[in-house]
């Protein structure tokens, strides 16, 4: 068995023979570790923020449902991103919004939900963005990672970003009805026209079926 000092010297000799500077290699490994830690910290914070937001809105859903105790829900695993959420809801803009399951996101530079397929550049310029209202915000984390957050006030529920993310990404962007906006109509006008029967009425105590492991009913 080699002692620790001998082993370190052995590693130095091997990497030097391979034409690699030992100190550069060590510093590179430490930097990669720090980057990974920073990214994991950001992901954890994003997951916690979303979880807190969903718990709060779920409470509002229960309160708003009243004696009926039922609310409308979109099943993201059935949704085909048809765009009817934006055009058929009685609320203007729609009560159906895009949500982001950060646990599924790849934090990609080339994001299919953010950039148009024929975008000239991978930039924040309006002409390159897929969202017509710039509701999907892009923030640089570190090379090559970017974080994407949905501005609920700007989202009109068109599902264009969801379609792009589903087609060219991990499917972390998905649609859901926000219950503190929804009127909880007896017959949902979107559900009536939904081609995939993705919208149904569920108990207000479990109002969300969300991708990324946020709820016990999630399939992701």
Convert the pLDDT of each residue in 108-122 to its tens digit.
989 999 999 888 887
Convert the pLDDT of each residue in 170-189 to its tens digit.
899 999 999 999 999 999 99
Rounded average pLDDT over 187-211: 89
Q: Read off the pLDDT band of 50 (50, 70, 90).
A: low
Convert the pLDDT of each residue in 51-97 to its tens digit.
544 544 444 554 554 545 899 999 999 999 999 999 999 999 999 99
The DSSP letter of residue 77 is T
- Nearest Cα neighbor of 132 from 147, 114, 149 is 114
pTM (2 d.p.): 0.66
Task: Tell me the average pLDDT of the chain.
Answer: 77
- Nearest Cα neighbor of 148 from 132, 166, 124, 167 is 124
Alpha-carbon dihedral 97, 161, 111, 137, rounded to 10 degrees: -50
Q: Strand, coil or helix: what is 165?
A: helix
Residue 205 is predicted with a pLDDT of 83
- DSSP result, 112-152: TTTB-TT-SSSSS-GGGBSSTT--EEEEEEETTEEEEEE-T
Residue 42 is predicted with a pLDDT of 58
């Amino acid at each position: 068995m080699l002692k620790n000092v001998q082993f370190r010297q052995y590693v130095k000799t091997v990497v030097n023979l391979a034409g690699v500077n030992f100190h550069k290699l060590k510093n590179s490994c430490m930097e990669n570790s720090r980057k990974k830690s920073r990214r994991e910290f950001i992901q954890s914070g994003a997951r916690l923020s979303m979880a807190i937001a969903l718990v709060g809105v779920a409470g509002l859903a229960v309160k708003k449902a009243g004696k009926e105790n039922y609310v409308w829900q979109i099943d993201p695993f059935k949704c085909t991103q048809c765009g009817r959420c934006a055009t058929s809801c009685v609320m203007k803009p729609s009560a159906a919004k895009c949500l982001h399951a950060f646990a599924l996101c790849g934090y990609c530079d080339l994001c299919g939900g953010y950039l148009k397929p024929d975008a000239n550049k991978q930039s924040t310029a309006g002409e390159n963005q897929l969202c017509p209202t710039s509701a999907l915000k892009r923030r640089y984390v570190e090379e090559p990672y970017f974080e994407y957050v949905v501005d609920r006030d700007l989202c009109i529920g068109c599902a264009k970003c969801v379609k792009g993310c589903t087609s060219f990404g991990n499917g972390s962007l998905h649609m859901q009805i926000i219950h503190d906006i929804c009127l909880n109509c007896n017959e949902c006008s979107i559900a009536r026209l939904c081609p995939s029967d993705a919208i149904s009425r569920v108990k207000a105590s479990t109002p969300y079926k969300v991708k990324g492991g946020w709820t016990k009913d999630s399939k992701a």
